[in-house]
Structure 1
Amino acid sequence: MGMISRGSEWHRWEPHIHAPGTVLNNQFGKADPWSAYITTLEGLTPTIEAIAVTDYYVTDTYEEFLEHKAAGRLPNVALLFPNIELRLDVAAKSGFVNIHLLVSPEDPDHLNEARRILKRLQFHAFNDRFDCTREELIKLGKRADSTITDDNAALRHGATQFKVNFNQLRKVISESEWATNNILIAVAGGSGDGTSGIRQAADLTVRQEIEKFAHIIFSSSPAQREFWIGQRSMSTEDLRARYDGCKPCLHGSDSHDQKSVGQPVDNRFSWIKGALEFDALRQACIDPESRAYVGEHPPRSAIPSQVISHVKIEDADWAATPDIPLNPGLVAIVGARGSGKTALADVIAAGCDAITPAGWDADENISPSFLARARQLIGRATTTLTWGGAETVTRSLDGSDANGHMSYERARYLSQQFVEELCSAKGVSDGLVDEIERVIFESHSKDEGEWALNFEELRDQKTSRFQQAREREAAAISDISDRIATEFEKESLIATLTAQVQQRKKVIVDYTADRAKLVVKGTEAQVARHTQLSETAQVLRNQIQNFGNQRRTFVALQDEVKSMRATGAPEMLRQAQARYANSGMKAEQWDEFLLIYKGDVDNSLRAYITWVDGEIAKVNGTPPPIGDPNVPLIADTVDVSTLPLAPISAEMTRLEAMFSADKLVRDQYAALTKRIAQENSALQTLETRLTDSIGAAARRKDLQTERDDTYGRVFEAIINEQDALADLYAPLMARIATSPGTLKKLSFSVRRIADVQGWGTFAEEELLDRRKAGPFYGRGSLIAAATEALMPAWETGSATDVQSAMTAFMAKYLRDLLSHAPFAPAQQAEYREWSKRFAHWLFSTDHITVRYEIAYDGVDIRKLSPGTRGIVLLLLYLALDDADDRPLIIDQPEENLDPKSVFDELVALFIAAKAKRQVIMVTHNANLVINTDADQIIVAEAGPHPSGGLPPISYVAGGLENAAIRKAVCKILEGGEDAFRERARRLRVRLER
């Protein structure tokens, strides 16, 4: 078994062609038709490489074919075998059903053996029995038409008369071990001379029995092919139950004349995948879907430029077979432990720049990698890969030229180390999540991907707008909550302020009474005038106080404008530029977005300050010149309410001097007057505050409504983010929805997750005094209430639902929550600070996250066992990674999986994957080799281990149709024989020799 071939490849076969001299309907002409016939066959495109030479009941033309082949003709035809056509005694639309015996030429005595089988078929007529032999057919022909004397003519006529009894044929084949092992039965599937032509309902069972007996259906109809591989009205299980399994459909030119030689209608050529040996046809009977095809071209597989067609290992004395051709489909590398399987996978991966830096640097004592373990012994060995497009790439096997800045991975390598890391329990499979995200990203078209470079960028593009909206609304809630706290505080001050106003009023009344007592007899008129002036002065002082407040506000506004220009607006612009970095705008275009004041605020503010200064000066006025103290400064006839403060104050001072000759009394009077003025000012401030506090309740309610609405908008933003994330998975979910079997177990969901535990625990530990008796006295009681009242809305409700739930929660629990405040309302500063923190907590949404979950069979992948994570990983690469058409190299995909799950989960996926990309796998599992119908088996073998060097490693390769390869598979792989037997259960063909 020293051969090394590419294994199973597509070749054009001609399974049904007649030759000159065919017994019936010979239209090849009289004069030397063979030369022209063979020349035509030799010149056909695509080239025919296997021919089943067809004749009725005999093998004469096949034998003549062999002579031409022996003489050097048909150099491209590697396989010739007889196709013996028989007519059954079952009527069809135009005559009788034709059945074909395809005889393996492997046995040197196959012709004699085939004649022995035919001889056992008999036809009864003319009170006689005729065997199916050349001599007997001639006898039958002459008996049927006594005018015939020529043996050839008699043979032809006898062939038209001889009908094979179906039950007898079935019995003859089944009773002969040689026939069972060397003959494949084909039946025409058409309506003329095939089973479709069996019309009567009563004959339906006969038709089904004939089709069950056959291994092959001769038909070029796509509908028939789909039916026979279980893609139409019957499943593969149904076909197995009724027809002994699936069947390949093949089609020949059925040529009876020169013109149609190898020219089937509509170029419906027959293609068989496998070596040019009869065994390839047996394998096609086992795997009709992947090994037999009718069409102008064979089924396409991987893109040629993405296929490694050849590996060459140089400067490596350990590589006993340095040249290894590779199949474009599924390549399985098998061998005993330590035979060099991983070595070949590593060598191929190295040539593809597919080994990571971590792989090259792995610890040589524990790494499963051959190249890591052999690092000290690899020397100057190189690998040269030839790609399907004829390009070659050479890489050192010591990793010295790996991972250069210009290199990129030309294959995906799932080394044992890579899979172990991705599937290890300690990694919480973040690496697996990253890989899934990459596949999700690549399932979007570039247009949908908006030119993002990776999943994270794409996710940010889809969700950042909603995250920013959420942040804005959350900040607004925070501000509104502070305002509400202020209004609550004002409300709580109404009683205090009311008492203070009454108190002030009483103080003023008392001071006024005290002042009245200081009046000296005879000065009552002056005192009355002083009181009148004092009241007017108080009004003016209040005006000045108000103007002063205005002036301070204008000056503060000037500071804010200055700060906004210098730092505020430029920073806001910088933040906007960062948020919308993809705008593509130039710096000068962004300048337009710098926030500026609509009007000329500098001039306005200067004008306001000038105006207010003028108003203050007007109200103050100018003091009059000091004159005769006995002459009033303000005439009695003047309306004092029209005067400024200065003359009024001067007149009040003049009057005070007249009240008493006693300086002490005068000073007391002046002091009381001043005190009354101060108390009046304070009273005005208190009354203003009281009015403000009385209006606080209405304002608070408006603010609470606004906060509720804003809280709803936060959840709108969260829900929008959730929807945007769900859109990310839509392409992949659509794929999974239409996929069969295992893939359906994979699911993606985007969920809102509310950390009620964290939210409640913060309040219980940081905000509430649980020592106080009340509903929230016990640990966890708040969490329980929130879980029941808020969690469903938070996690699955609409924005309106969340709003309603929070309103109901507050109506039910707010009073109780406030009763656990750690401060009494009387401790104003502390209570104020606490109530702000409380409101921020109550309306916070930091505990709400939008998370996507990837589950397999309903379990989050973060919680799967390493083995099941391995299945998810393989699902990902084999079935979902459509965007990746590079070769996929996998080292022992079955690790951690039990044999049943290998078969159930992976076999179909490998079959589907190899149709799209080259798959190279190292495996110990017979199911993965046999049931995936691997296109090429590479058997690795290592020689004795020399000290200080690497053992010689040799490889042989071929397809499953090769008996020696099958034998090696059975020997090396545990369960190999059982797997073969199971796979070929329905076939009467020999698989092992």
Structure 2
Amino acid sequence: MLDYTNYNRGSEWRKWDLHLHTPGTNKNDQFEGETLDEKWKLFIQTINTSPIEIAVVGITDYFSVSNYFKFKEYLLNGAITKKIELILPNIELRVLPVTGSSTPINLHCIFNSEIDKEIETRFLAKLKFTNGSSSYSATESELERLGRDHENNTGLDKISAYKKGVEQYVITMETLFDVFKNDKMLRDNTIIVVSNKSNDGASGIIKHEDFFINVNASQLDATRRSLYQASDAIFSSNENDRIYFLGKGVDDVSTVIRKCGTLKPCFHGCDAHSNDKVFQPDFNRFCWIKADPTFEGLKQTLYEPGDRVRIQSMQPDSKMDRFVISQLEFLDSGNLFGNQKIFLNENLNAIIGGKSSGKSLLLFSTAKSIDPDQVEKTSKRLNFDGYTFNSNFNFKVIWKNGDTDLLNDLKGAKEHKIIYIPQLYINYLVEKNNKKELNDLVQNILQQDPTFKKFYDQSTLLIRNITSQIDLLLNEYLAMRNNGKELVLKIKESGKSETIRNGIAKLESDISDGQKAAKLSSEDIIDYNKLLAEKNTNDSNLKKLYLEQNVANRLLEELISTRINLLGDSTQNDKIKLKGKLNKTLDDLIEIPDYMLKLKANIEIDYDKMIDNLRNEILKLRFDEKILIVEEKIKVNLRNLEPYFRKIEDQKELVKLTNKLEAEKKKLDDIVILENLYQKLLIEYAQMRSKITELLINRFSEYKRIVEKINDTKSNIGSDIELSCELIYKLEKFNFYEQVNKTTIGSEHLLNDFINGEYVKYDSIIDLFSKPLRFNNSMLSDNNEVNITMKVNVTFEDILKGLVKDNFEIEYSVKYQGDNLLHMSPGKKGTVLLILFLQMSSSEYPILIDQPEDNLDNRTIYDLLCKMIKDKKKDRQIIIVSHNANLVVATDAENIIVANQEGQESMLEQGKYRFEYVNGALEHSFKVTNDTIPLLFKQGIREHVCDILEGGNEAFKQREKKYSIK
């Protein structure tokens, strides 16, 4: 088999980094190393050891491709060992007018690597910068000349002159327009990307909101608009930017196209100027592009900006391996098929070809290998006997998880599922038409109405938020319960406060008796207790002063630390002066405007004033002086107590009782705190239960509101189809019911009030949850009528989660011309299913469809079927046979499989097998004239689509201009 493409699964998601600087970059080179050679060596080491897989790299520099060629050389000679499929030259331009921060706009030109050797002469040499009476192109020698002229130093060395020239070189948009206007081929091989950062991008000219919303935006609005209209894409990782430029934000599609020329994809890159940033974009916002790693693949993002590129950490549109067919394989020892392998894409695979070329045969073999019973049933209804093969023929389906299905393996268990819709079988779409499938189909239809979708999304979002709140509060509720149990245990261990108070009274009485026995007069005892009380008071005051002083000093330290973090440490010497965040931010500017310097100075003054004021206020509080005074008082207390201590020093039992009294008083303080906490917890526990109950009521009401909305506004959804629905909670999904020990439930038991046949009366469940339930020894009870025995090993947490679980369903009933769908004749049912099929259910397993466009006019295909397929391929794998160009091109099929049978009129050249297949992406394009190569291998996928499908060329043209000004 001839090699047809390097990318045999069509368009796949890969990480692209289109904004990578290298050592020697013309601005802000922070790469590690003392010399340029050492920097490159460490840079290459960083790339080779990076765990991040990057398919395509855009080597970026200001007005230069020198580092691109250097990177390319290292890649070709094997110094860079990391697998990189493609490198693209990315020239960063500085364009007038300046942004709001007085910085020229950064504009990127990403070129097709196939013309990289022509960039110097066809692009850089054509740019023009005028300085006084002199004009300069952007070639290296001209930039050196500009640098020397600007410095008025003809003897300036090459490197310094070049760097100075790059710093000064800016162009106008008109200059860029002229270059591309005079070289259309160059423009076709260039993607212009404008930065959307506020400091050096288009959004820096005027604020986003002014451009997007304010109709009275400044005159720079026209400048910014011309920038967007001249560009193909945006460099931005901001999700709001992505939404806006797709026409899904404050402006709709038509408004964005009017303002910006086209809808635009948003790209992102690491913008590395240092080793630690290589392939490491901020917040792991990688640029994922679904395309062959080619320049033509990158251009597909311009035609499908919403579907072909994403900025996120994880791979988009990922599916479970067990739901994805990875590979198809013919097992034929003859020359009918041979051992051909066809690799599939996870999303949309379109099979095309002339009549009797093997399109339907391939789909049929796939379906029968996976689910022969379904194929047999559908084929029998269509009076189709299938295909007859020789005994040595077999066919294999390999799933992404490694499972295999063989066509001739009729005895093995078939574990995988598909939906197979053969040609003309639209009326038999769902063989097992149960309520669940019906509910899925109807729900998808309803959401095609934007008004209802908005209402439904808001309601379901509210329900999800309520459920999240319920789950969160329930966890807090359970935590409160556990805390309460711990408090009870601690109180039990220490004893109740009343018991401790009685013990304290007894100790005080014993101490009083002991004091009398210690030869202390009644006056001595009074004086002793008074002095001891004074000392205790002073001890408490001293502790309080130390605490207040510590807090005040920490406040001062925090304020000083905040100032240093923001403004730097001005107390350090020049060699190790610490820069603050404000200075680091201002470092991005080549020249800091006076108003910013003034603002910075004012901030420094304000911070210093706050610090001085706080320091003075702390001094006014005279903590040290107050502490000394109290310490002196304590010394006096101790001197005054000394005579009494001497009188009672031999009374060891009295001392022991006194110490015990102090310990009991402390224990009393602790237990009072615990008891207060427990009482407070009981109140909060009841309040939390009330909050959760209220949320359960609100969620139940919101579900009922959705049902009322559908029944009030959607009773007739068109084409004589009537719809009604009801809210149900199936008993089989009620976790709480499964936890109950049903052997203890009699006919008169309270639990029977919760059930209505196969369904749960959920208002009764809410009422049950609202009660102060207790759970002990498998018995759930409250203070009154609740008394339910649960199964062994069921926990209180299990019970509560079972009660609040959201298992509500909206069950639909569909009638066509008065007849219920589930009871219709096959012919009548087919009419309804045709409509429902256009808004297919959201199952995960693959769907195989053979020519769904039959019996539908082209407008229906484009407006309904194409939209459905584009949406559904993100959620499930689709394999479709079609002879309609729109179904292949307008759906942006990721993988096109071209089928050919030897001897067909359009493909007379002899191939290796009678039936042959090639596959690849829509962007796969080439044409050769070698007569020894079979026609199937002579041209790319794009060319095959245009040749085979009626209207193929027009479909490509429509796709490429659908999001642009016509």
* TM-score bucket (shorter structure): 0.5 to 0.7
Which of 43, 60, 64 is the aligned partner of 1:58? 64
Question: Which residue in the other structure is 1:982 paired with?
Answer: 958
Amino acid at match of 1:345: L
Question: Which residue in the other structure is 1:136 paired with?
Answer: 142
- Asked if the contact 2:332/2:338 (under 8 Å) is kept, the reply is no
Query: Are positions 1:15 and 2:18 aligned together?
Result: yes
CA–CA separation in structure 1 for the residues paired with 2:953 and 2:712: 35
Amino acid at match of 1:929: V
Amino acid at match of 2:73: E
Query: Are positions 1:106 and 2:114 aligned together?
Result: yes
Query: Are positions 1:27 and 2:40 aligned together?
Result: no
In the TM superposition, what is the alpha-carbon distance from 1:898 to its structure 2 partner? 1.2
Question: Which residue in the other structure is 2:354 paired with?
Answer: 336
CA–CA separation in structure 2 for the residues paired with 1:733 and 1:302: 34
In the TM superposition, what is the alpha-carbon distance from 1:879 to its structure 2 partner? 3.8
CA–CA separation in structure 1 for the residues paired with 2:166 and 2:93: 9
Amino acid at match of 1:60: S
Question: Which residue in the other structure is 1:265 paired with?
Answer: 282
- Asked if the contact 1:103/1:114 (under 8 Å) is kept, the reply is no
CA–CA separation in structure 2 for the residues paired with 1:76 and 1:390: 25
Question: Which residue in the other structure is 1:909 paired with?
Answer: 868
In the TM superposition, what is the alpha-carbon distance from 1:234 to its structure 2 partner? 2.1
In the TM superposition, what is the alpha-carbon distance from 1:729 to its structure 2 partner? 14
Matches within 5 A, 1:360-439: 362=380, 372-375=385-388, 377-396=389-408, 401=410, 407=414, 410-419=417-426, 421=428, 435=433, 437-439=435-437
CA–CA separation in structure 1 for the residues paired with 2:128 and 2:327: 55
In the TM superposition, what is the alpha-carbon distance from 1:293 to its structure 2 partner? 0.9
CA–CA separation in structure 2 for the residues paired with 1:936 and 1:735: 42
CA–CA separation in structure 2 for the residues paired with 1:214 and 1:869: 51
- Relative distance call for 1:299 and 1:736 in structure 2 (3 A) is farther
CA–CA separation in structure 2 for the residues paired with 1:728 and 1:132: 68
Amino acid at match of 2:10: G
Query: Are positions 1:183 and 2:190 aligned together?
Result: yes
Which of 307, 313, 318 is the aligned partner of 1:301? 318
Which of 276, 280, 304 is the aligned partner of 2:297? 280
Matches within 5 A, 1:435-834: 435=433, 437-440=435-438, 748-750=722-724
CA–CA separation in structure 2 for the residues paired with 1:902 and 1:867: 22
Task: State the identity %.
Answer: 29
Question: Which residue in the other structure is 1:97 paired with?
Answer: 105
**Which is further off, 347-356 or 178-187?**
347-356
Question: Which residue in the other structure is 1:881 paired with?
Answer: 841
In the TM superposition, what is the alpha-carbon distance from 1:435 to its structure 2 partner? 3.6
- Asked if the contact 1:321/1:955 (under 8 Å) is kept, the reply is no
In the TM superposition, what is the alpha-carbon distance from 1:324 to its structure 2 partner? 1.3
- Asked if the contact 1:301/1:329 (under 8 Å) is kept, the reply is no
- Relative distance call for 1:967 and 1:910 in structure 2 (3 A) is same
- Relative distance call for 1:734 and 1:255 in structure 2 (3 A) is farther
Query: Are positions 1:241 and 2:239 aligned together?
Result: no
In the TM superposition, what is the alpha-carbon distance from 1:394 to its structure 2 partner? 2.1
> CA RMSD, aligned part only?
3.9
- Asked if the contact 2:100/2:204 (under 8 Å) is kept, the reply is yes
Question: Which residue in the other structure is 2:475 paired with?
Answer: none
CA–CA separation in structure 2 for the residues paired with 1:103 and 1:851: 55
- Asked if the contact 1:907/1:928 (under 8 Å) is kept, the reply is yes
Q: Secondary structure at the match of 2:113?
A: coil
CA–CA separation in structure 2 for the residues paired with 1:737 and 1:2: 57
- Asked if the contact 2:427/2:834 (under 8 Å) is kept, the reply is no
- Asked if the contact 2:228/2:261 (under 8 Å) is kept, the reply is no
Q: Secondary structure at the match of 1:106?
A: helix
Question: Which residue in the other structure is 1:217 paired with?
Answer: 234
CA–CA separation in structure 2 for the residues paired with 1:986 and 1:114: 34
CA–CA separation in structure 2 for the residues paired with 1:310 and 1:951: 19
- Relative distance call for 1:197 and 1:891 in structure 2 (3 A) is same
In the TM superposition, what is the alpha-carbon distance from 1:911 to its structure 2 partner? 1.1
Amino acid at match of 2:403: E
- Asked if the contact 2:365/2:407 (under 8 Å) is kept, the reply is no
Which of 961, 969, 973 is the aligned partner of 2:945? 969
Question: Which residue in the other structure is 1:491 paired with?
Answer: none
CA–CA separation in structure 2 for the residues paired with 1:865 and 1:980: 42
Question: Which residue in the other structure is 2:133 paired with?
Answer: 127
TM-score (ref. length: structure 2): 0.55
Amino acid at match of 1:3: Y
- Relative distance call for 1:381 and 1:213 in structure 2 (3 A) is same
Question: Which residue in the other structure is 2:859 paired with?
Answer: 900
Question: Which residue in the other structure is 1:256 paired with?
Answer: 273
CA–CA separation in structure 2 for the residues paired with 1:981 and 1:262: 35
Query: Are positions 1:145 and 2:157 aligned together?
Result: no
In the TM superposition, what is the alpha-carbon distance from 1:736 to its structure 2 partner? 14
CA–CA separation in structure 2 for the residues paired with 1:332 and 1:905: 17
Query: Are positions 1:952 and 2:965 aligned together?
Result: no
Amino acid at match of 1:11: R
Q: Secondary structure at the match of 1:27?
A: coil
- Asked if the contact 2:710/2:725 (under 8 Å) is kept, the reply is no
- Relative distance call for 1:875 and 1:985 in structure 2 (3 A) is same
CA–CA separation in structure 2 for the residues paired with 1:322 and 1:885: 28
In the TM superposition, what is the alpha-carbon distance from 1:876 to its structure 2 partner? 3.9
- Relative distance call for 1:896 and 1:65 in structure 2 (3 A) is same
In the TM superposition, what is the alpha-carbon distance from 1:256 to its structure 2 partner? 1.2
In the TM superposition, what is the alpha-carbon distance from 1:310 to its structure 2 partner? 1.1
- Asked if the contact 2:338/2:913 (under 8 Å) is kept, the reply is no
TM-score (ref. length: structure 1): 0.54
Query: Are positions 1:158 and 2:165 aligned together?
Result: yes
CA–CA separation in structure 2 for the residues paired with 1:863 and 1:904: 31
In the TM superposition, what is the alpha-carbon distance from 1:79 to its structure 2 partner? 0.2
- Relative distance call for 1:966 and 1:863 in structure 2 (3 A) is farther
1:141-164, CA deviations, whole angstroms, 9 ceiling, x for partnerless residues?
111113471212211111121111
Amino acid at match of 1:245: T
Q: Secondary structure at the match of 2:248?
A: coil
In the TM superposition, what is the alpha-carbon distance from 1:913 to its structure 2 partner? 0.5
CA–CA separation in structure 2 for the residues paired with 1:234 and 1:20: 41
Amino acid at match of 2:150: A
CA–CA separation in structure 1 for the residues paired with 2:237 and 2:25: 23
Aligned residues: 581
- Relative distance call for 1:362 and 1:381 in structure 2 (3 A) is farther
- Relative distance call for 1:873 and 1:927 in structure 2 (3 A) is farther
Question: Which residue in the other structure is 1:117 paired with?
Answer: 123
Q: Give the gaps of 5 or more residues in structure 2.
A: 207-216, 444-702, 727-810, 926-939
Query: Are positions 1:38 and 2:44 aligned together?
Result: yes
- Relative distance call for 1:876 and 1:76 in structure 2 (3 A) is farther
**Which is further off, 162-171 or 12-21?**
162-171
Question: Which residue in the other structure is 1:942 paired with?
Answer: 901
Amino acid at match of 2:437: V
Question: Which residue in the other structure is 2:4 paired with?
Answer: 3
In the TM superposition, what is the alpha-carbon distance from 1:257 to its structure 2 partner? 1.6
- Asked if the contact 2:94/2:105 (under 8 Å) is kept, the reply is yes
CA–CA separation in structure 2 for the residues paired with 1:360 and 1:878: 19
Amino acid at match of 1:419: I
1:851-891, CA deviations, whole angstroms, 9 ceiling, x for partnerless residues?
954469x9999999999998964664564412x21101101
1:406-446, CA deviations, whole angstroms, 9 ceiling, x for partnerless residues?
54661111111532556xxxxxxxx78x647451356899x
1:558-610, CA deviations, whole angstroms, 9 ceiling, x for partnerless residues?
xxxxxxxxxxxxxxxxxxxxxxxxxxxxxxxxxxxxxxxxxxxxxxxxxxxxx
Larger radius of gyration: 1
- Relative distance call for 1:736 and 1:957 in structure 2 (3 A) is farther
- Asked if the contact 1:316/1:378 (under 8 Å) is kept, the reply is no
Q: Secondary structure at the match of 2:16?
A: strand
- Asked if the contact 2:107/2:192 (under 8 Å) is kept, the reply is yes
- Asked if the contact 1:926/1:975 (under 8 Å) is kept, the reply is yes
